[in-house]
Structure 1
Amino acid sequence: MRNNDRDPLLDQRAALILLFGALSAIGAGALTVLNGGALAGAGLAGGGAFAAAVYFFHKIIR
């Protein structure tokens, strides 16, 4: 079996799911800061939103 160096690291589905997760995390973190929260709280909110969004989009995108 030949190794093709031009193969993508992620398929399109995985890249889309991770993109939506990252956008959700950024949105949750930004809304937390705009609401007067600390940056540490925004990071935690963004991390939780990322995990939930990746799980959600993994389930609904086939």
Structure 2
Amino acid sequence: MELMLNTPDQHQPLLGQRAAIVLLLGVLVGLGAGVLTVLAGESAASGVLAGGAAFAAAVLFFHTIIA
């Protein structure tokens, strides 16, 4: 049985470029929403929940609009 060794031309990226951009934008939106929530005087738990919800909504939004 022959072992398959990874040569430089066989390396595949873990994420595609589009997926990386969509997730990066989602993280940035979620982080911004969480920070703004905490700066508005809410608790840290509320900031985490707001950031998580904003992340999910942003990923769905950017997945839809980025071709």
Q: Give the count of matched residue pairs.
A: 60
Residues 22-46 of structure 1 deviation map (CA, whole Å, 9 limit, x = unaligned):
0000000000010001000000000
Indicate yes or no: 2:22 matched with 1:9.
no
Higher RCO, Cα 8 Å, sep 6+? 1
Indicate yes or no: 2:26 matched with 1:21.
yes
RMSD: 1.2
Shift >6 Å, 4+ stretches = none
Secondary structure, in 3 states, of the residue corresponding to 2:64? helix
Note the residue ranges of structure 1 that are not aligned, 5 or more in a row: none
Note the residue ranges of structure 2 that are not aligned, 5 or more in a row: none
Distance 2:49 2:43 in 1: 10
**Structure of larger gyration radius:** 2
Match of 1:50 among 47, 55, 62: 55
